Structure formats: structure tokens, C-alpha cells
Amino acid sequence: MLEHLIVCRHGETEWNIQRRAQGRADSPLTAAGIAQAQALGRALAARGVEHIVSSTLGRALHTAEIVADITGCTVSVDERLVERAFGELEGQRFEDMALDPMWTAVVRCSDPDATAPGSESLREVAARVMAALESAMALPYRSIAVITHGQSISALMGTLHASGDYSAYRHGNCGYTPLHVREGGLVVDAWNIDPLAVLEAEAATVTNPK
């Protein structure tokens, strides 16, 4: 029976650097993104993760494959974990979109019901991501990692915290949030843990023991 579900964001991409809205479009991982995924793999291995469920988008799958190589886990995919659809905003720079008041709520996640033409609201994203997590919870493992996307995580966390402003829940690349399964629900154990920072802290402890 599942006890721990760890929600992770994919590694840094070229469009992340350029501050572009990726949505359902895709962009390759950078060298830094690959290093982040490797650090995430080591962190998840230490947590005893047994299986990985990934978004079907390339940047998430590449991250999942790197993590799987390190952890020895199997990987399955769930299309419901893909990033928020941005519609006509996809590929545009965030700073350019933010200049238009019409799109500010969409870009900044301040309104969970805001949409652009062809896009999803954060509430819609949260509904499908929650459904994907419910399916993951039925898998025959004790600890599972989910590899998904920034605004998908914001939508999920805003829902779990019953928050009207999802903008508070920004996730760094390869940041991870452990969730504890309790009485059929999900409880947030920690928030947006940086795997590189964890590894650096562990290395410092080994180098400079008390």
C-alpha cells in the first residue's frame, strides 16, 4: 500500500532560461537540467522510491529516465500530468505577457479560474492532476515519485492547501515535495526541496562532522 508520494518538477530547459511559457510545447533539458535530474535521482534513491510516474512531455520523460537510471525504478506515464495548456500564449515570454493586463492573472497564477484562448484554468489542471495521483495511489508500491510541471504543481498545491491564490506555490526545477498518504488523502510533509542543496548539505556534513 502506498505510503509516500513525492511530486517533482522536471529539470531546467532551454525555454525555462528564456522565460517562455512552454505548456504543451516542449524544449530540451539544459546541461544544468540534466545535473538537477541526476541530483533528484540520488535524493529519491535515498528516500526509497520504488516507481516513477511521468508526464508524457519530453522534458519530464527525460528527467524521469535520468532518475530511473539512478534509482533502478521502473517508469510509467500518465498524460494527465502534462503541463497546463497555455493556448495562444505558448512560446511567449512571461515578461511580455505580463505587460498585458488581460494575461497577468494567467501568467502569475493569481486567479485559478483565469484562462487565455485555448488554455486551461488552474482549477481544470488541478482536477486532472489529482485524478492522476489517485491512480498512482492505487499502484502496488509503498513509495512513488511523480514527475510533472511547474504550473501543474502550483495547481495541485493550491488545491491541497485550499488556497485561492496558487501563485504562492512555485516549484524550482527538480524541486520535490513529499506527500504522506493518510486515510486516503495526501498531506504535505515539506515543500519544494532542492535536491542539489540536500546533496551539498550532506557532503558538508561528511567533510565537517561535528
Q: Give the annotated binding-site residues for substrate.
A: 9-16, 59
Binding-site positions: 9-16, 59
Output the CA–CA distances (angstroms, integers) from residue 42 to 31, 37, 167, in the order listed: 17, 9, 29
> What torsion do the CA atoms of 117, 123, 126, 130 make, to the nearest 10 degrees?
-130
Contact 75, 52 (CB under 8 A): yes
Question: Could you count the other beta carbons within 10 Å of the beta carbon of residue 100?
Answer: 13
Catalytic residues: 10, 83
Cβ-based neighbours of 175, under 8 Å, separated by 6 or more? 8, 9, 192, 193, 194, 195
Q: Are the CB atoms for 195 and 42 separated by under 8 Å?
A: yes
